[in-house]
Structures are given as C-alpha cells and as structure tokens.
Amino acid sequence: MGVQETDLLEEMDLASVECLNQARGTHPPRCRPLRLFRSPPRDLAALPRSRLSRPRLPTPRASPPLQAVGKDWGNALKQGYRDDAALHVTSDDDEQLIITVPFRQIVNLTSVAIAGPADGTAPKRVKIFVNKPSLSFDNCGKKATETLDLSAEAVATGAPTELDFTQFQNVRVVSFFVETNQGGGDVTNVAKIVVNGMPVHTTNMSELKKC
C-alpha cells in the first residue's frame, strides 16, 4: 500500500523561515606593496644583513563570507505567492541560495517540487539537508541528505521529484541549498517550492491531564 502524501504547507512554521544569499562587497582585502628602500643603495655589501633579508608580506585576514538574510522567500512558499509565475526569490551576488524551512511538528517527506522561469535562471542542482537549523554557506559543502539535478522541463512545470523516503523521516527542519542554475549565470530565480509528505502524529505530553 502506497504512502498517502499531502502538501505540507500548513505544517510549515512560516514565521521562522530563513533565506540566505551571499552579500555584496565580500572581496578579500588587498595587500599594499612594500618598498624595501627609499632609494637604491650604492653598496649592498655595506648594509646590515638584517636589511638584506626578504621582507615579510602582510597576510590578509580571512573574513567569513557575509550573508544577507530576509529575501522574499514568501514568493516561493506562501499560498498564492508561489502560484504567481511573476514572483520569485532572487539571488543577489551569485547563483547560490539557502532556504531553511522549519515545521511546527515532526514530518516525513516524500517528494518536493521546485519551479522557476524558463530563462535559464531556474535552479538546477539543489542539495537538501534535514535537521540542520543553522545551515550556512560555510557548512553546506558537507554531504547532503539528497542532491537533486533538476531538468529544465522539471523546473518549468514544477513536477514533483520523489525523495528517498528512508532518509526523510522525523524531519523538524528542511533546508534547500541551490548550488547552480540551469543557465550557469549569476542570478537564480525560484518561483515555487512545494514540500510533500505527512505529519508524524505524536503525543503532546503537555496536553495530557495529570492523573
């Protein structure tokens, strides 16, 4: 007997959805060139050995990639918004996006449908992580729960893609890392994300009356 799945929109905690994209102005600091001498010395042999040693160039400090929060994620998730083909979640500085969706109760996932415009900006490779509420660009390179390579036809029609059901049980949070888009450009547009599955009915101990 097959699993009875449903659209889990009503189970999403939409108030806690987070959307991350690379912020602008994240280029590493430049090193200014060093001048060894004010003027060329006449006799290098007369200089102290310490002045002839190779100078140490300053090492730029590695700064973590900045992340902008608060994109229009509702365009891809909210009822009505996600059904309007003209509304998108759009990346800023490059093609990558992270959309993290918590649920109000534990759920099992069966399939997802991801849609975008037919101009090459729709998602192509999407990594899905479960129960990683703090997923960021620093750690999304780790092994995903499942990786989807979506065809242009699939994202144009919003056709659902089945998930490995055994890997998507007891899910509290699901994250979508859009790694590449169909055209290979710097802008990604996500028009719709539909998550299908079923809630896991558990006993709420706080609702039980004390004996």
pLDDT at 74: 86
Residue 142 lies in a domain: yes
Question: Does residue 37 belong to any structural domain of this protein?
Answer: no
Please tell me the predicted confidence (pLDDT) of residue 3: 61
How many domains does the structure of the chain reveal?
1
Structural domain harbouring 156: 6-23+66-199
**pLDDT value, residue 73:** 86
Query: Which tokens sit at 50?
Result: 């310490």
Q: Is the pLDDT of residue 68 over 70?
A: no
CATH code of the domain covering residue 92: 2.60.120.470
pLDDT for 31 beyond 50: no
- DSSP state, residue 83: T
The predicted structure's pLDDT at residue 27: 40
Global pTM value: 0.74
Supply the pLDDT for residue 4: 82
Burial 106-143 (b: 16+ CB within 10 A, else e): ebbbbbbbbbbbeebbbbbebbbbbebeebbbeebeee
Q: At a CB cut-off of 8 Å and minimum separation 6, what does 61 contact?
A: 29
Burial of 93 (0-12, 13-18, 19+ CB in 10 A): middle
Is residue 145 situated within a structural domain?
Answer: yes
In a domain, 53, yes or no: no
Between residues 79 and 210, which one has the greater pLDDT? 79
The helix (run of H) or strand (run of E) holding residue 75 is helix 74-77
Q: What is the pLDDT of residues 77-127, one digit of tens each?
A: 999 989 888 899 998 889 999 999 999 999 999 999 999 999 999 999 999
Whether residue 35 lies inside any domain: the answer is no
Mean pLDDT of the chain: 81
Does residue 140 lie in a domain region? yes
Tokens of 53: 């040693």
Q: What is the pLDDT of residue 84?
A: 86
Three-class DSSP category at 16: helix
Nearest-CA neighbor of 125 among 136, 110, 140, 109?
Answer: 140
* Closest alpha carbon to 178 in 118, 112, 120, 97: 97
Q: Does residue 111 belong to any structural domain of this protein?
A: yes
User: pLDDT confidence of 21, banded at 50, 70, 90?
Assistant: confident
Is the pLDDT at 30 greater than 80, yes or no?
no
pLDDT at 211 over 70: no
User: Is 110 inside a domain boundary?
Assistant: yes
Q: What is the mean pLDDT of residues 178-196?
A: 96
Comparison of pLDDT for 24 and 14, the residue scoring more? 14
Q: Tell which phi-psi region holds residue 120, choosing left (phi > 0), alpha (psi between -120 and 50) or beta.
A: left
Asked if residue 45 has pLDDT above 90, the reply is: no
Distance CA 43, CA 77 (A): 73
Average pLDDT for residues 4-24, to the nearest whole number? 88
- The top-scoring range by mean pLDDT among 14-18, 36-40, 193-197 is 193-197
Which amino acid, residue 16? S
Contact 168, 197 (CB under 8 A): yes
CA distance 115 to 151: 10
**DSSP helix/strand/coil, 157:** helix
